[in-house]
Amino acid sequence: MNLFVVNWRRNNAISPNSTDFKVMFSFKHLIGLVLTSLLFVSCSPSPPYQGVPNPNSPQAQQVAKTAEELKKEEDLRKARVKANKEAKARREAVRKTEEVTEGGGSTTTGGGGEEIKTAPREPVKRPSKYRTAMSIPGKPGFVFNPWTNKAVDVRGIPSGQLIRDPNDGDPEHKFRVP
């Protein structure tokens, strides 16, 4: 049995002169092994770089603010708050003086103490979103529906009221009583 083990080792041992070693470490196989290794390495995720931070990153720019920049930002914020308070006080003063004054125009005092007179305004007539019906001559309390031109009874409905003809099938066809 000892002889068998020795012969087995001798016959199956891999030596640089054996054909198995030459096949296993041939140039083609070596290139294939290197390329496969490169493929595995390139596909694996790499950890983030922990060296010098990018100066263009938002974190680096935020850290890079100097004491002067921080003071400027704080001064701007305070100026905005002060301006908002002053504007609110002016609006309140204008509102109070408009309530006190009566008649066509109102007078207000600005921040410098000068009086500003506003011109009286006339109400602006805006076109209505809805059509106005036309009354039927000789039939009081009846109007023509502006959508279908059929007579509609509007007795007891005040002028300017928005109504809908119950006989008109479209619920969007609303109109005003003249």
On whether both 94 and 134 belong to a single domain, the answer is no
> What per-residue confidence (pLDDT) applies to 157?
94
Q: Is 165 exposed, middle or buried (0-12, 13-18, 19+ CB in 10 A)?
A: buried
Of 47, 82, 100, which residue is a domain's last?
100
- Assigned domain for 90 exists: yes
- Assigned domain for 4 exists: no
> What per-residue confidence (pLDDT) applies to 134?
93
> What per-residue confidence (pLDDT) applies to 111?
53
- Assigned domain for 161 exists: yes
- Assigned domain for 77 exists: yes
> What per-residue confidence (pLDDT) applies to 3?
46
132 forms beta bridges with 176
Of 55, 84, 100, which residue is a domain's last?
100
pTM passes above 0.75: no
- Assigned domain for 22 exists: no
- Assigned domain for 13 exists: no
- Assigned domain for 137 exists: yes
Per residue in 75-122, pLDDT tens? 989 998 998 899 899 888 888 887 776 555 545 555 555 666 777 777
How many domains are there within the chain?
Answer: 2
On whether both 93 and 136 belong to a single domain, the answer is no
Q: Percentage of the chain with pLDDT > 90?
A: 26
pLDDT at 5 over 60: no
Structural domain that includes position 177: 130-178
- Assigned domain for 175 exists: yes
